[in-house]
């Protein structure tokens, strides 16, 4: 009797876990659809800005801008790098946080000078503390749906610090969203900004089209390069969020499937234990009736 009660209790607990993981899977699926729409919708804009910068770079020749070559008259080689690590606020998303944090910690150890480390999300705090990596700033206000204004403000702050010569570079460690079935942890150099290089037959500065810019290309670059930095950082956040939802959706689906299998196994064990218990009770009844004859 005690064994069947124990199995019944475990069956109830596994059923509750399955309902929770199934609900979390459905929530992650819903959030993934919205996050994917934002990430995919923003990519054409980011790519279009980079294409325009490429055309301007080909027109203006050698580019000399603080966001590309650094501040003039300041030796930034002796300044530390600034790293932004994007993690999640909540767990239960499989290897998502671990992959990003391991890649970032390996890159941080390779820096010649002790870098400044900034963290987005709560799940990276304990990892970096255990690894002995100090966090100079912890951003807790972005969440699952960061506002574009907050990201732009952060990008402006990074650009101001870079052009002032306080940091030698700005790098972002995040999970890059490629497709729904493929995400890759990546460290991207945000600053100094690298003008995109076109591949193929037009790689020698031939863009295939002739543009006439008004105002001149140099003036347009002063406006477009800050916009490019903001759009790139915004894309990093969008990719990180949609990748987090994918990882949580996969993890919760696996947990739901495991709970279903465990429930079926416990049901078989319960039926066998109950059958053995009934057989024992019938044997005792028959034995007692025969003893009274």
Band the pLDDT of 291: cuts 50, 70, 90: confident
Q: How far is residue 145's CA from residue 174's CA, in Å, rounded to a whole number?
A: 16
Q: Is the pLDDT of residue 19 over 90?
A: yes
43-59 mean pLDDT:
76
> Are residues 260 and 175 part of one domain?
no
Same structural domain, 242 and 272:
no
135, two tokens: 């966090």
Q: Is the confidence at residue 287, as pLDDT, over 70?
A: yes
Question: With 80 as the cut, is the pLDDT of residue 72 above it?
Answer: no
User: CB neighbours of 116 closer than 8 A, spacing ≥ 6?
Assistant: 80, 81, 82, 83, 136, 137, 167
Query: What contacts 229, CB < 8 A, 6 or more positions away?
Result: 67, 155, 158, 159, 190, 191, 193
Radius of gyration in angstroms for the set of CA atoms belonging to the chain, rounded to a whole number:
29
Looking at the structure, tell me whether residues 9 and 85 fall in a common domain: no
Per-residue pLDDT tens for 129-180? 999 999 999 999 998 889 999 999 999 999 999 999 899 999 999 999 998 8
pLDDT score recorded for residue 205: 45
Query: Is 215's pLDDT higher than 70?
Result: yes
Same domain for 268 and 158?
no
Give the count of beta carbons closer than 10 Å to the beta carbon of residue 235: 22
Q: Is the pLDDT of residue 30 over 80?
A: yes
Number of domains the chain is built from:
2
Query: Does the pLDDT of residue 207 top 70, yes or no?
Result: no
Are residues 29 and 7 part of one domain? no
Smallest Cα–Cα separation from 248: which of 2, 31, 16, 76? 31
Region of residue 162 (left: phi > 0; alpha: psi -120 to 50; beta: else): alpha
Same domain, 238 and 257: no
Whether residues 203 and 273 fall in one domain: no
Q: Does 292 fall in a domain? A: no
Alpha-carbon distance 255 to 245, whole Å?
A: 15
The greatest distance separating any two alpha carbons of the chain, rounded to the nearest whole angstrom, comes to: 115
Rounded to whole angstroms, how far apart are CA atoms 22 and 29? 11
In angstroms, the CA 4 to CA 269 distance is: 9
What residues have CB less than 8 Å from 75, skipping those under 6 apart? none
Same domain, 171 and 266: no
Tens-place pLDDT, residues 175-186: 999 988 899 999
Please name every residue paired with 82 in a beta bridge, in sequence order, or none if there are none.
116, 170
Average pLDDT over residues 55-76: 73
Rounded to whole angstroms, how far apart are CA atoms 264 and 250?
A: 21
Higher per-residue pLDDT: 216 or 258: 258
User: What pLDDT, on a 0 to 100 scale, did the predictor assign at position 64?
Assistant: 72
What confidence category does residue 61 fall into, taking pLDDT thresholds of 50, 70 and 90?
low
Q: Which domain holds residue 72?
A: 21-251
* Whether residues 221 and 260 fall in one domain: no
């Amino acid at each position: 009797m005690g064994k069947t009660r124990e199995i019944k209790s475990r069956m109830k607990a596994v059923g509750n876990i399955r309902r929770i993981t199934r609900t979390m899977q459905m929530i992650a699926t819903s959030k993934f659809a919205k996050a994917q729409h934002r990430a995919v919708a923003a990519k054409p804009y980011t790519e279009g800005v980079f294409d325009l910068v490429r055309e301007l770079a080909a027109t203006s020749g050698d580019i000399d801008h603080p966001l590309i070559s650094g501040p003039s008259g300041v030796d930034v080689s002796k300044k530390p790098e600034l790293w932004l690590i994007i993690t999640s606020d909540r767990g239960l998303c499989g290897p998502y946080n671990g992959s990003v944090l391991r890649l970032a910690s390996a890159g941080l150890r390779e820096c010649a000078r002790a870098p400044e480390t900034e963290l987005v999300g709560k799940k990276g705090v304990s990892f970096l503390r255990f690894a002995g990596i100090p966090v100079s700033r912890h951003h807790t206000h972005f969440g699952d749906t960061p506002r574009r204004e907050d990201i732009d403000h952060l990008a402006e702050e990074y650009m101001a610090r870079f052009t002032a010569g306080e940091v030698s570079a700005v790098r972002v460690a995040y999970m890059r969203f490629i497709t729904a079935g493929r995400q890759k942890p990546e460290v991207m150099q945000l600053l100094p900004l690298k003008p995109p290089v076109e591949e193929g037959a037009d790689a020698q500065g031939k863009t295939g089209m002739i543009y006439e810019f008004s105002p001149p290309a140099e003036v347009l670059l002063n406006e477009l390069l800050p916009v490019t930095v903001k759009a790139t950082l915004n894309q990093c956040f969008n990719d990180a969020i949609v990748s987090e939802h994918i990882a949580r959706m996969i993890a919760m689906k696996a947990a739901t499937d495991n709970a279903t299998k465990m429930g079926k196994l416990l049901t078989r064990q319960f039926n066998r234990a109950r059958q053995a218990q009934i057989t024992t009770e019938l044997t005792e009844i028959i034995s007692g009736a025969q003893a009274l004859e």
